[in-house]
Structure 1
Amino acid sequence: MLGFWLSAYARLIRTRPLYVVVLAPGPETVAAREAGRGKTGYGAHWSVAELDRVLRAETPRIGLWLDTSELSVGETVEAILAQRQRARVA
């Protein structure tokens, strides 16, 4: 969820407690990861740079935001669990 959609979607969820975690690796990391995949999530409609701009400039800073550029999957999970109280929004 990007932009205002993040808050709008979070308001629709009635389960409590509610946690929001935003994984926000840098655009260079996203581009490198994308290049190594067999499919693409970016292209004609959205570039990595444009999605990164929307994420950082237009998305409300709710929950836990993690720069996962240098983290493995396991390290990301550990960081989320260690900081889960910062992720709680409701």
Structure 2
Amino acid sequence: MAEREVVRAKTGYGGDWTPAHMDAVLRTGTARRGLWLDTSAQSPAETVDAIVAGMGEALVT
């Protein structure tokens, strides 16, 4: 997210909100429900494989 933000013509964050801050808030302030994946280094096929492999964890009841 930080790398992408550097090369963008516009910014999606204002004031004290930086990509690092948003990442920290999401990681510490969001309930861990469902399947959480970091797909930044995965191909689309690898992402699909990870989703299929984590289907049990992905179900929220």
Q: TM-score, normalised by structure 1?
A: 0.53
Q: Deviations over 1:42-87 (max 9, x none)?
A: 3446210111111111111111111223212332222112211111
Partner of 1:87: 58
Identical-pair percentage: 54
- Note the aligned Cα RMSD (angstroms): 2.1
Q: Which runs of 5+ in 1 are unaligned?
A: 1-29
Q: Which runs of 5+ in 2 are unaligned?
A: none
Q: Deviations over 1:26-49 (max 9, x none)?
A: xxxx11133345554334462101
Q: Distance in 2 between matches of 1:39 and 1:64?
A: 31
1:73 to 44, 50, 61: 44
Higher helix residue share: 2
